[in-house]
Structure 1
Amino acid sequence: MRAALHKELPAAIALRRELHAWPRVSGHERPTLERVLGALPGLDAERVAGTGAVVRVGGPGPAVAVRGELDALPMDERTGVPWAATNGAMHSCGHDVHLAAAAALARALARTSSEPREGSRVGTAPLLVVLQPREETQPSGALDVVGSGVLERHHVQAMIGAHVQPLLPAGTVACTPGAVNASADEFTVTVTGVEGHAAYPHLTRDPVLAMAQVIVAAQHLVSRAADPMVPTVVTFGTVNAGTAPNAVPREATARGTMRSMSPAWRERLHQRFAEVVRDTARAYGCTAEVEIRPGEPVLVNDPALTVRTGERLREHGWDVTDELRSCGADDFARYGEVAPSLMMFVGVDTDAGLHSPAFLPGDDSVAAVAEALLAGYLEASSPSRFAADGHPAGHKTHP
């Protein structure tokens, strides 16, 4: 299978460059979808989640799924390569690499199914390639895929993902058991006071001052309310108030994100945040409203699947680490709520970070991601991994 995969890499690299040159933002991915489907001729495709699809390789029975994200980000590219995007969008999170790698894997498995060869593919499950829209926006594309019931119809017994990660050197893959990405929720805070002339502050109730204290007070949730062993983030990203320098406005608004690696603390954090915001505003004679919009849950890697995939990658010469965790978020977490899942992080050789207009991992990253997906697929489809009911051996439920 590895040999077949490597035969597909030249076509996959060409596909990656084509996808990179013509990116589409969330909700408008249909041209990207059609191009990927065009690279998978003869395979059964089923439309899902609006601008997404699933493609099945193999016969009947429970499948193992891999994901490729279709969408790009709305930004102007600054890489300078001949195949750079020029349409105001950019694959600055590696989705072009992920899609090309998933296509290479699908084509390789289709090849090994059809070509006569010594031996057989005993013990491998059908592959379901999930071409998912809207990873970068809300509502989540993964949430729609799960809600469509397509994973249940194909009896998906495990979900595999791999994401490029410039924090790791090329040649390294992170296979970390347990929680690897945080939950991510957005909030809006509106503080209302009494407007007036800036020269007479005693006649006003200043919402700007109150908002400043709210921002400071909220940071104590991280340093004093959260368990120091549970990563927690509260970040205010925008603050807006007033229209004139010599006037106290009536209202100040702020928006931000809160993140946690613990589902239990996530719920408590929402409650404490609202209490701190309202009580702090009240102390300055103002009132506050808090809106929290839940986002992605904690991304949890199935421990057994993760460890065994890491062992398989080591056998093939990859450096494997089990220490990479971050308070980044990914809607891949939605798949872990319905099936055992594994998200790997694949090191790439680039100085630019994710979501940077200069982010451009090399073409060799297509092979790296494809090998990671293949290792996860093979491990997840191993008969020893699953009992007769399709659940992991010795594993009754999944978080």
Structure 2
Amino acid sequence: MSSSAVTTADDTKVILCQSSSCLKGNPPSKLECPTCNKLGIRGSFFCEQACFKAGCTSKTHKIIHDIAKSGTAALSGVYNPFPNNQFTGSMHPWYPLSPRRRIPDHIPRPDYHKTGQPLSEIKAGGQPGRILSLEEQEKMRHACKLGREVLDLAAAAVRPGITTDEIDEIVHNATIERNAYPSPLNYRNFPKSVCTSVNEVICHGIPDKRPLKEGDIINIDVSLYYDGFHADLNETYPVGKIDDESAKLIRVTQECLDAAIKICKPGALFRDLGKAIEPIAKAAGCSVVRTYTGHGVNDLFHTAPNIPHYAKNKAVGAMKAGQVFTIEPMINLGPNWGDVHWPDNWTATTVDGKRSAQFEDTLLVTETGVEILTWGPRHTAHKATGHW
């Protein structure tokens, strides 16, 4: 932005009012546009509130803000690696990604940590869901307790201005501090230690340099590998104050998961979980994502059984005591349950750009019902109100 200035007799330079409709003849002025000041644009001064409103809040002036913001991103080296991709909403990647985070030598690793290929999972394909021994169940309890601690630490950091890459660093460090391995890291070549899915991103968002904004929602999906077993859990959080539709979406998604957990017990059919979930979503004007499912989890990150979240699915099998699996419904605002992928081969978003939320727990079927291994503050609050 060019600015008009005059020099006084004592060689002091002053800025004249920038309003083209100034009724005072554009006198020397000190009322500065705060957005311009923040962006480093100099010379954006006005003599009074009337000129400020006429000049600083005009569409033409706001274009200058937009140009400056773009320039700031470019100067900082941030860029969109897929400029020709047709994004469905406001989200797009903010590259470059930070370097792969280091795993100390003493941390036990899953089989895919070098090659990216989960060979044990591939070998187990087609086999029925495994029944865990009492010793293995105890190991799952401990891994899931650690996973809950890490997720709660990440959630406490959610605020406007923090980047998803900074959340990834928090998760990575907290996992290492617990002598565990962040399960997503290099799993089928995923580049980060946690999935962060913001707004219309359904799942598998890759942490990058985008700062969270007031009004966003973010899902943080934490998985860790400890003593030979994986924990897996996620929740969706508001970033500051969110709109009513986003708040409804988060509430409904929790209700969907909770309704599914309530029917878990020996003999319950996996296909009936979707029957408990979808009516709740539809009644709220939402839809259930069909591409992604819950899954068995134990010494393998993803294994049988396969657990769809929509009604009239064809999932096979009934629950048995000693099985461990996740339920993790992904719920979209509006009737469209479809998804599209970014060219990074991971990030899945809604097809219409509307928001999506997800909640996930790891569950152990007991002789009499079900145990929530990833129990946390949300569950405690529900129990206190009689929901459990």
**TM-score, normalised to structure 1's length?**
0.28
Higher strand share: 1
Larger RCO: 1 or 2 (CA < 8 Å, sep 6+)? 1
Higher helix share: 1
Greater Cα radius of gyration, structure 1 or 2: 2
